[in-house]
Chains A and B, each alone.
Chain A
Amino acid sequence: MSKARASLSRTALVHAALIAYTLVAVFPVFLTIINSFKNRNAIFRNPMQLPTPSTFDLVGYQTVLGQGDFAVYFQNSLIVTVVSIALVLLFGAMAAFALSEYRFRGNTLMGLYLALGIMIPIRLGTVAILQGMVATGLVNTLTALILVYTAQGLPLAVFILSEFMRTVSDDLKNAGRIDGLSEYAIFFRLVLPLVRPAMATVAVFTMIPIWNDLWFPLILAPSEATKTVTLGSQIFIGQFVTNWNAVLAALSLAILPVLVLYLAFSRQLIRGITSGAVK
């Protein structure tokens, strides 16, 4: 903000609001992480207290890592998330390019049809999806999850990316055509690098729901070999007894990969979110 327009009280108010929001947003994560390092009694007696020498305990992590399967769960989650994001970005961008670049009959209708998925939750079709997966023998495979998540992520991806692709200069694409680039080369080499911020935005918006999803892993791939982290953590939550140490440790660990992916995308993400607004 420029000096001329800033007043101390206004700046203070803005910062107070931002700090308050940050606290609200970060607090649950903070609570999860500090409690994952405490013993069971300390979690219940003083949930707000930081771990002290007397309450510090790694039993949660020992349980989780000692379980052995957790590495597999992590691997499953990562495979499903990364492959789904890659497919969503690839197909979403291709569909968006076609919608924004080519004039054809039914273009608008097709765009609306592809965007419909934003408004209708994919979970409504769970029964049909399950029947389909059973019929094709894909139950208890990661492929099933990847297919469903790709379908789930595409509508938003097409919607956001086609808006961005309209902003890529026509002259640039035409220059490519005159220089003899194929339509694929124009798409991959000219257009995609220019919409990278939008791609990062889509990647983050797609990634979080997939990583956190419990519904589809539970229904489509609950086998030991295909469990995801979110589903794997559920074994510590029982009907009568819950192993809170382990649950908190598992959740803390589950944050890490998302955090890494997020940091990888975030620089582009901020540009992606603001570029539409400020320009």
Chain B
Amino acid sequence: MGSLQLKSVRKSFGPVDVLKGIDLDVKDGEFVIFVGPSGCGKSTLLRIIAGLEDATSGNILIDGAEVSAVPPAKRGIAMVFQSYALYPHLSVKDNMGLGLKQAGTPKAQIEERTKKASAMLSLEKYLDRRPAELSGGQRQRVAIGRAIVREPKLFLFDEPLSNLDAALRVNTRLEIARLHRELKATMIYVTHDQVEAMTLADKIVVLDGGVIQQVGSPMELYNRPANLFVAGFIGSPAMNFIDAARLGRSDAATIGIRPEHMSLSREAGEWRGTIVHVEHLGADTIVYLDSEKTGLLTARLFGEHHYEADEIVYATPNSGQLHRFNANGEAIL
């Protein structure tokens, strides 16, 4: 239980096409992440799957059944929102139980499921509190608990970590990963943060301009980006793009090299340049240099390195790790 198919789903708001034909297959138990810059249509797509928004055309199938005309509560989904969206006047327990109560589930069963979910999320101590008496992280756990008790076919997450601070974000990320392992449920997760995408997903769907740019596992996207957009979006710092003509190459229009796939040397190398700025992060050192041949380059070196601004250095790309793109921005494999 818990597969999802999207068949040429389109959405327009008046004259604006937000989604331009989305086809996607999500298998049972998969953790799929929609990632893309803001305004790419990823949240709209999630809301269409949830039934909060109607698709202009196309089909949505959950477990093989068409659900376009089914109201959100009957689709067998549960959703976790960025702003938690807890009912302010209900206790934690009632927040979690409301959906089941509306569906007419017997009281004992609600009780049992609430207990199980709150144990999973270590919320037992807070069951009688109101949302206002909880911290941000606890609130988000309640929101996740509210999704769990429904035992849905599909979990939908709409940027659930965006409102949390950095430390809490890591913890909650681990928690979500653990829940996915324990529940073996199908999860669809929207984020603009590629770190969340890379760390959680079985499968990443990169969206831009209302079109799926690439679907694949995190490492597939990292190692074999299908086009310039995916190459630039996945990986941090972003991939360096160099006009192939400046390098004198005719087999591609653009050459891409990731900052971590370059080495620097003071003595000799392929591209001579001046260091513009150095960022020391401890675990790695990020060097920005301006090269006559390639323009601005970013290099990521592991560990501590003592470079300073205005030094002359030579950058050399690792030969096997160059990416080539044609004039349309598509990868040449």
One of A175, A189, A193 near B81 (C-beta < 8 A)? A175
User: Which residues 148-205 of A sit at the B interface, judged by CB distance below 8 A?
Assistant: 169, 171-172, 174-181, 189-190, 193-194
Contact in complex: A180, B85 (CB < 8 Å): no
- B156: nearest chain-A partner, CB-CB: A178
Tell me how far the C-beta of B82 lies from the nearest C-beta in chain A, rounded to whole angstroms.
7
Known: A171-B81, A171-B82. A177 touches B52 (CB 8 A): yes
Task: Among A169, A174, A181, find the residue whose CB has the most chain B CB atoms closer than 10 A.
Answer: A174
Contact in complex: A178, B103 (CB < 8 Å): no
Q: Which residues of B contact A172 (CB under 8 A)?
A: 83, 85-87
Contact in complex: A174, B85 (CB < 8 Å): yes
One of A169, A174, A179, A194 near B52 (C-beta < 8 A)? A174
In the complex, A207 Cα to B102 Cα: how many Å?
A: 37
Q: Which residues of A contact B86 (CB under 8 A)?
A: 172, 175
User: Which residues 154-187 of B sit at the A interface, judged by CB distance below 8 A?
Assistant: 158
Contact in complex: B73, A171 (CB < 8 Å): no
Q: Which residues of A contact B51 (CB under 8 A)?
A: 177
A-B pairs with CB below 8 Å: how many? 57
One of B73, B84, B87, B146 near A180 (C-beta < 8 A)? B73
B37 at interface by CB-CB < 8 Å: no
Contact in complex: A171, B85 (CB < 8 Å): yes
User: Which residues 69-105 of B sit at the A interface, judged by CB distance below 8 A?
Assistant: 71-74, 77-79, 81-89, 98-99, 102-103
In the complex, A32 Cα to B72 Cα: how many Å?
A: 61
B45 at interface by CB-CB < 8 Å: no
The interface bits of chain A over 224-255 (1 if a CB of B lies within 8 angstroms of the residue's CB, else 0) are 00000000000000000000000000000000
Contact in complex: A175, B103 (CB < 8 Å): no
Tell me how far the C-beta of A167 lies from the nearest C-beta in chain B, rounded to whole angstroms.
13
One of B71, B79, B89 near A175 (C-beta < 8 A)? B79
- A174: nearest chain-B partner, CB-CB: B52
In the complex, A179 Cα to B79 Cα: how many Å?
A: 9
Known: A174-B52, A178-B73, A179-B99. A194 touches B88 (CB 8 A): yes
Contact in complex: B88, A177 (CB < 8 Å): no
Contact in complex: B77, A171 (CB < 8 Å): no
Contact in complex: A174, B73 (CB < 8 Å): no
In the complex, A13 Cα to B155 Cα: how many Å?
A: 60
Interface band, chain B? 20 to 34
In the complex, A213 Cα to B88 Cα: how many Å?
A: 39
- B75: nearest chain-A partner, CB-CB: A178
Tell me how far the C-beta of A125 lies from the nearest C-beta in chain B, rounded to whole angstroms.
38
In the complex, A190 Cα to B78 Cα: how many Å?
A: 19
Known: A172-B87, A174-B81. A180 touches B103 (CB 8 A): yes
Q: Which residues of B contact A178 (CB under 8 A)?
A: 50, 52, 72-73, 77-79, 99
Contact in complex: B83, A169 (CB < 8 Å): yes
Contact in complex: B79, A174 (CB < 8 Å): yes
Q: Which residues of A contact B82 (CB under 8 A)?
A: 171
Task: Among A178, A181, A189, find the residue whose CB has the most chain B CB atoms closer than 10 A.
Answer: A178
In the complex, A175 Cα to B81 Cα: how many Å?
A: 8
In the complex, A172 Cα to B79 Cα: how many Å?
A: 11
Known: A172-B87, A190-B87, A193-B89. A179 touches B81 (CB 8 A): no
- B83: nearest chain-A partner, CB-CB: A171
Known: A169-B83, A171-B85, A193-B89. A177 touches B72 (CB 8 A): yes
Tell me how far the C-beta of B300 lies from the nearest C-beta in chain A, rounded to whole angstroms.
37
Q: Which residues of B contact A193 (CB under 8 A)?
A: 88-89
In the complex, A179 Cα to B103 Cα: how many Å?
A: 8
Known: A193-B89, A194-B88. A177 touches B73 (CB 8 A): yes
In the complex, A174 Cα to B81 Cα: how many Å?
A: 9
Tell me how far the C-beta of A186 lies from the nearest C-beta in chain B, rounded to whole angstroms.
10
In the complex, A47 Cα to B79 Cα: how many Å?
A: 69
Q: Which residues of B contact A189 (CB under 8 A)?
A: 89
Known: A193-B89, A194-B88. A180 touches B83 (CB 8 A): no
The interface bits of chain B over 98-124 (1 if a CB of A lies within 8 angstroms of the residue's CB, else 0) are 110011000000000000000000000
In the complex, A193 Cα to B90 Cα: how many Å?
A: 11
User: Which residues 267-322 of B sit at the A interface, judged by CB distance below 8 A?
Assistant: none
One of A169, A174, A180, A194 near B102 (C-beta < 8 A)? A180
- A173: nearest chain-B partner, CB-CB: B85
- B74: nearest chain-A partner, CB-CB: A180
- A177: nearest chain-B partner, CB-CB: B72
In the complex, A175 Cα to B52 Cα: how many Å?
A: 10
Tell me how far the C-beta of B276 lies from the nearest C-beta in chain A, rounded to whole angstroms.
42
In the complex, A122 Cα to B78 Cα: how many Å?
A: 49
Q: Which residues of A contact B77 (CB under 8 A)?
A: 178
Tell me how far the C-beta of A271 lies from the nearest C-beta in chain B, rounded to whole angstroms.
15
Q: Which residues of B contact A190 (CB under 8 A)?
A: 87
Tell me how far the C-beta of B72 lies from the nearest C-beta in chain A, rounded to whole angstroms.
5
What are 14 contact pairs spanning A and B, CB under 8 A? A169-B85, A171-B84, A172-B83, A174-B81, A175-B81, A175-B85, A177-B51, A177-B72, A177-B73, A178-B72, A179-B146, A180-B73, A180-B74, A190-B87
Query: A174-B81, A177-B51, A181-B102 given. 14 additional CB < 8 A pairs?
Result: A171-B85, A172-B87, A174-B47, A174-B50, A174-B85, A175-B79, A175-B81, A175-B87, A176-B87, A179-B73, A180-B73, A180-B102, A181-B98, A190-B87
Q: Which residues of A are interface residues toward B (Cβ below 8 A)?
A: 169, 171-172, 174-181, 189-190, 193-194
4 closest A-B pairs by beta carbon, nearest first, are: A180-B73, A180-B102, A179-B99, A171-B85
